[in-house]
Structure 1
Amino acid sequence: MVLTGAIVNALSIIFGSVLGLFLTKISESLKNTVLKGIGLAVTVLGIQMGVQTNNFLAVIISIVIGAILGEWIDLDNKFTQSGKWLERKIGNKAKGNIAQGFITASLLFVIGAMAVLGALDSGISGDHKILFTKAMIDRFTAVVLTSTLGIGVLFSSIPVFLYQGIIALCATQINKFIPPHLLDLIVLELTATGGVMIMGIGLNMLEITKIKVANLLPGILVIAIVVPIFYYINL
């Protein structure tokens, strides 16, 4: 089934989050240290992804246009409101953790090469190996994030499933319209663009910046348009 990989990934996040709930009673000092450690690792991951680009101009254009669209739509506020809605429904006393956990985990699990490549493989060839691997990684990450940010991490499974599921469904037809070489270029630059955003997440976790990373998300769609344009005009 085309959606098998996306379903397994979402269930792994839920399972990891449930396990992480048993570790939430650790000291605030330890939570803070662990969170900062994750922030450092996420920042390094973002840098590694970002430097893979072969056309940094395309990445910059996509980030700028994506930021304009994101601010216009106000995606960051919509993510925040979704988190606040969950807080009201759950009635958790540590309300701030739910919104923060939901937003941070959603962005971290959605942005990245494995999410896109895995979903594409699921749709094009029915191969779910990449998403199965991502599921194992996300399960461990969910345990750690939930132990520090709370139950909001669990609900990130919803946007992860929708994002990867939509890509997988679209991928069933994508090879009819996009040449394999161009598709490889799109994935490469999409990875670099996502890396810039992931670095923003890491810097936010380190409390160095307060970047509205969610408002940069449209850049993911923009890069998928910019790369073919550059490809056909030989830029």
Structure 2
Amino acid sequence: MLGTIINSVAILIGGTVGLLLRKGISERFKQTVMQGLGLSVFVIGVSGALKTENMLVVIFSIVFGGIMGEALEIEEKLEVLGRWMEKRVGKGEGLVAKGFVTTSLIYCVGAMAIVGALESGMTGNHETLYAKSLLDGVSSVIFASTLGLGVLLSSVSVFIYQGLITIAAGSLADLLTEAVVIEMSAVGGLLIIGISMNILEIKKVPVGNLLPAVFIPVFYPLVQPAAQYFLQIIEVFL
């Protein structure tokens, strides 16, 4: 858990610095910076998604993960939680919920979050999470300067999310082959592209409802024969 704890603290520190800088940045500069961040997030997502070695796994994961997420209404629950936090600590900013949801997803669905937490749990190696802590800490300065207090609150999401993966990693070691981890990272990259579209206000993508897709590759080897049969049926009709 050490890597996850340091990651959460880095976001808190970076976010605090961003809040202190916030009042000195005009709205025009904030908007430009957010657009730049959106483009950067898009590139990160594309680079992660292209690592897939089996596109069928990605498609299968997105479809069934999306169904699960819609049934659980994850996106709505995240927004409700964000609005609740906004009422408690937001002081009428209006951006707390957006900052919390946006940065929680960015910091949680990326490849480094998944791979780093798995390494931490299975081998005790925290190097990936240390590197992620540095990146998240720096980016949280920028995000907090534009999105406000919600960015700091995302440190709680990171702690819970990565912590649970770290704890579960030992018991899932047999299922977490290199191929499975690669596809988990690829799905995470695709979700990051969705986040970038939200930041750039191109199209509202319910990334929260797609979050279960990241974990579907863990179980894909168990249902792969059925998925291939399903694909063959589709090809017949096409």
| Fold equivalence (TM over 0.5) | yes
Between the aligned partners of 2:72 and 2:171, the Cα distance in structure 1 is 29
Aligned equivalent of 1:158, options 126, 142, 156: 156
Find out whether 1:187 has 2:187 as its counterpart. no
Letter of the structure 2 residue corresponding to residue 219 of structure 1: A
Between the aligned partners of 1:171 and 1:146, the Cα distance in structure 2 is 31
CA gap of 1:234–1:80, structure 2 versus 1, over 3 A, is: closer
Identity %, equivalent residues: 41
State the 1:93 CA deviation: 2.1
CA gap of 1:227–1:148, structure 2 versus 1, over 3 A, is: farther
State the 1:91 CA deviation: 4.1
SS at match of 1:31: helix
Match of 2:216 in 1: 222
Match of 1:202 in 2: 196
State the 1:38 CA deviation: 0.3
Find out whether 1:168 has 2:166 as its counterpart. yes
Between the aligned partners of 1:69 and 1:131, the Cα distance in structure 2 is 28
Match of 1:35 in 2: 34
SS at match of 1:23: helix
Does structure 1 retain, via aligned residues, the 8 Å contact 2:90–2:149? no
Match of 1:87 in 2: 86
Between the aligned partners of 1:120 and 1:91, the Cα distance in structure 2 is 34
Between the aligned partners of 1:126 and 1:54, the Cα distance in structure 2 is 27
Match of 1:48 in 2: 47
Q: TM-score, normalised by structure 1?
A: 0.92
State the 1:223 CA deviation: 2.1
RMSD of Structure 2 on Structure 1 (CA): 1.8
Between the aligned partners of 1:152 and 1:103, the Cα distance in structure 2 is 8
Match of 1:110 in 2: 108
Between the aligned partners of 1:63 and 1:232, the Cα distance in structure 2 is 16
Q: How does 1:71-86 map to 2 (within 5 A)?
A: 71-86=70-85
Count, aligned residues: 228
The CA deviation string for residues 110-134 of structure 1, in whole angstroms up to 9 with x for no partner, is 0111111111111111111111110
Letter of the structure 2 residue corresponding to residue 82 of structure 1: L
Match of 1:146 in 2: 144
State the 1:230 CA deviation: 3.0
Letter of the structure 2 residue corresponding to residue 169 of structure 1: I
Does structure 1 retain, via aligned residues, the 8 Å contact 2:34–2:199? yes
